[in-house]
């Protein structure tokens, strides 16, 4: 997906790419809901922060297209994975979104250093 | 390069928050409606931003038609990936799904760059180190997890 979006970003602006990525997905989902889900679209009733997902989705598509076009898909994915590991550790450490708390501890330092070493190798 | 690395790091962080929020959306509204919110909002926000910033390709059907159809399939793959991720986080132990998802992302990046002839031994070695680090970190994370409980966040 990231790579195809990156190619599309050669012809369109980042937000135009986002428009097509989300628009095509929305049409497919609406088709599914009307064909298989009984045609009931229900968008209300979720916690308020759920309605920020659209902003995050646009940010994700725009940033991955922006980066993969300039530094390659492999490096983009590797750095993004490092970001995911860091965010996951924070979510676990503080028990965000209701997940059980798993405190960060020093035993997780060596794998983190290994990830940083891998990134350093790719960057330099 | 520092800007690109920072943006890619933030991309990863937002990715995790987005997944967690999507799981909550799915629990509140069901799989299809919970996912639909993401896509409908994204469509509107992207449209407003594109037109607001003066991008005019969206109102030029001739230009849009000149782009190969396959380039528009990112939305399809994104939707499939999101549904598989949510399903996977439900049915597979988080420890497994987290590593599989991250390894899949690394592999996809490698394949795409390899196809474009942009991957050398240095990049391959770096990707392998990151992959091993992800797996190792996940093992250490599980060692510190409460007994008989599962987290919904990878890492």
Q: Are residues B52 and B40 in the same domain?
A: yes
pLDDT tens for B73-129 read 877 877 787 777 767 766 666 556 677 778 887 888 888 788 877 778 888 898 899
pLDDT tens for A70-120 read 888 888 888 998 898 888 888 888 888 878 888 888 888 898 999 999 888
Please give the structure tokens belonging to residue A27: 């049409």
Contact present, B46 and A12 (Cβ < 8 Å): no
CA distance B95 to B89: 9
**Nearest of B122, B88, B125 to residue B104 by alpha carbon:** B88
Please give the structure tokens belonging to residue B104: 């899949």
Q: Are residues B84 and B120 in the same domain?
A: no
Residue B64 lies in a domain: yes
Q: Are residues B98 and B82 in the same domain?
A: no
Smallest CA–CA distance, residue B123 to chain A, in Å, is 5
Q: Are residues B78 and B137 in the same domain?
A: no
CB contact under 8 A, A43 and B113: no
Report ipTM for this prediction.
Answer: 0.82
Q: Residue B46: which of A58, A76, A83 has the nearest Cβ? A: A58
Smallest CA–CA distance, residue B31 to chain A, in Å, is 10
Q: Could you tell me which residues come within 8 angstroms of residue A113 by beta carbon, excluding any fewer than 6 positions away?
A: B133
Please state, as a whole number, how many other Cβ atoms lie within 10 Å of the Cβ of residue A96: 15
Burial pattern A13-25, b for ≥16 Cβ within 10 A else e, equals bbbbbbbbbbbbb
Please state, as a whole number, how many other Cβ atoms lie within 10 Å of the Cβ of residue A34: 12
Residue B87 lies in a domain: yes
Pairs of CB atoms within 8 A across A/B: 378
Q: Give me the pLDDT at residue B149, please.
A: 45
* Confidence (pTM): 0.77
User: Which of B91, B117, B135 is at the close of a domain?
Assistant: B91
User: Which of B91, B125, B145 is at the close of a domain?
Assistant: B91
Question: Containing domain of residue B131, as a range?
Answer: 94-155
Domain map (residue ranges) of chain A? 1-71, 72-124
Residue B12 lies in a domain: no
Structural domains counted in chain B: 2
Chain A contact for B60 (CB, 8 A cutoff): no
Q: Residue B153: which of A29, A54, A92 has the nearest Cβ? A: A92
Q: Residue A74: which of B30, B42, B119 has the nearest Cβ? A: B119
Q: Are residues B149 and B109 in the same domain?
A: yes
The helix/strand/coil state of A84 is helix
Chain A contact for B50 (CB, 8 A cutoff): yes
Please state, as a whole number, how many other Cβ atoms lie within 10 Å of the Cβ of residue B60: 10
Give residue for tokens 């995911």: A84
User: Which of B35, B67, B91 is at the close of a domain?
Assistant: B91
- Residue A4's pLDDT band (cuts 50, 70, 90): low
Q: Are residues B112 and B83 in the same domain?
A: no
CB contact under 8 A, B25 and A50: yes
């Amino acid at each position: 997906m990231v790579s195809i979006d990156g190619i599309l970003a050669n012809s369109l602006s980042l937000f135009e790419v986002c428009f097509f990525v989300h628009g095509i997905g929305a049409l497919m989902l609406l088709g599914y809901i009307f064909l298989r889900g009984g045609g009931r679209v229900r968008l209300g009733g979720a916690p308020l922060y759920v309605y920020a997902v659209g902003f995050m989705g646009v940010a994700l598509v725009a940033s991955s297209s922006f980066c993969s076009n300039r530094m390659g898909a492999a490096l983009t994915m590797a750095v993004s994975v490092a970001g995911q590991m860091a965010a996951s550790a924070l979510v676990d450490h503080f028990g965000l979104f209701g997940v059980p708390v798993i405190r960060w501890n020093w035993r997780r330092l060596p794998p983190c250093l290994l990830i940083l070493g891998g990134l350093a190798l790719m960057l330099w | 390069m520092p800007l690109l690395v920072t943006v890619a790091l933030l991309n990863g962080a937002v990715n995790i928050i987005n997944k967690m929020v999507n799981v909550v959306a799915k629990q509140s509204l069901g799989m299809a409606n919970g996912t639909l919110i993401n896509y409908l909002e994204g469509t509107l926000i992207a449209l407003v931003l594109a037109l607001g910033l003066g991008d005019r390709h969206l109102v030029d059907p001739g230009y849009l038609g000149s782009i190969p159809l396959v380039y528009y399939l990112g939305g399809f793959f994104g939707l499939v990936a999101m549904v598989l991720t949510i399903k996977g986080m439900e049915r597979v132990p988080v420890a497994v799904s987290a590593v599989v998802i991250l390894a899949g992302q690394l592999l996809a990046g490698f394949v795409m760059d390899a196809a474009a002839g942009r991957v050398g031994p240095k990049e391959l070695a770096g990707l392998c180190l990151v992959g091993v680090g992800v797996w190792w970190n996940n093992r250490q994370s599980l060692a510190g997890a409460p007994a008989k409980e599962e987290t919904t966040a990878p890492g």
